[in-house]
Amino acid sequence: MFGRGQTVMASSESVDFTLRHDSFERWYQTPLGRALLADQRACVDRHLGNLTGARQLQVGVSHRVPLASSTDFSQKIVTTPNWGPAIPDGVAVCDADELPFPGDSMDLVILHHTADFSPHPHQVLREASRVLRGEGTILLIGFNPVSLWGLRRLLSRSGAGPWGGRFLMKSRMEDWLRLLDFSVECSRSCFYRLPLQKPVPVQRRNIFERVLGNGILPVGAYYCIVARKRVCSRIPRRPVWNKQKVITLPGSGPVGASRGCASRSNIKSRQSGSCNGR
């Protein structure tokens, strides 16, 4: 008989996340998907506009959905889980839970619905923490289950688009980050539009967004968490001396002994004295 964690793991491994990645990427071309992506880009630019550094890494479901394009980083790397015939430069094909980058090599890591569409969401955060340097920043975006979008997912009979994602709790993601020695600097829910492709009248939509978007109820479609890594970067160890390669300097006295000490030692040798003797 399987436990709860084993049951969840078995059900996750049986899901074809490759198909769900492709479906979610195509969904971003719909009117609702374009509106969501525009809101997420504005949210990311608002939180990361003042950051600078050497390397920025975005880990998401597709390299065709870029975020943080206006940030001031020398190198911007994007990962994609699936290989394609026309992958541009600067895109790495890899799984989100096994990044091909050395530790402490990134100044900023962006996880764009990465945990929502991964069979190992906790390992995704561990890998992001591994490649992020000390005092680096991580920005995480995920769907909010405590929202009308979460209700829409529960009622959906199809796993297409965003409804095939996990919709993990925001509090759970914050706990995982704290366990990895992150300090959460900002956490909020965003995008209060109804999960409908059919256009809603502007007046009715403004009333709905004004009622739910007042900040009292965290029921936005997605949440954005900004956290800082409070673990210092590892200091490279000094090379260990190989005694077999140490060359002994010529001379009768020990290496580093002064000339006066050596002469006094020779003078008092008949009296079985030493340089520091009586």
* 88-100: pLDDT as tens digits: 888 999 999 999 9
Confidence of residue 111 (pLDDT cuts 50, 70, 90): very high
End-to-end CA distance of the chain: 81
* pLDDT above 90 (res 3): no
**HSE (side-chain half, CA atoms, 13 Å) at 33:** 13
For residue 9, the model assigns a pLDDT of 43
Confidence of residue 46 (pLDDT cuts 50, 70, 90): very high
Q: What is the largest CA-CA distance in the chain?
A: 109
* pLDDT above 80 (res 136): yes
For residue 23, the model assigns a pLDDT of 92
When the pLDDT of each residue in the chain is averaged and rounded to a whole number, the result is: 82
In contact, 109 and 205? CB cutoff 8 Å: no
Q: Is residue 75 part of a domain?
A: yes
Q: Is residue 187 part of a domain?
A: yes
Q: Is residue 110 part of a domain?
A: yes
Q: Is residue 188 part of a domain?
A: yes
Q: What is the pLDDT averaged over residues 33-53?
A: 94
Q: Is residue 68 part of a domain?
A: yes
In contact, 135 and 181? CB cutoff 8 Å: no
Work out the number of other CB atoms within 10 angstroms of the CB of residue 135: 12
Q: What is the pLDDT averaged over residues 121-139?
A: 97
pTM of the predicted model, to two decimals?
0.76
Q: Is residue 252 part of a domain?
A: no
Q: For residue 163, what is the domain's CATH number? A: 3.40.50.150
Q: Is residue 184 part of a domain?
A: yes
Q: Is residue 173 part of a domain?
A: yes
Q: Give the number of domains in the chain.
A: 1
CA proximity to 104, closest of 136, 59, 77? 136
* pLDDT above 70 (res 243): no
User: What domain range includes position 179?
Assistant: 4-229
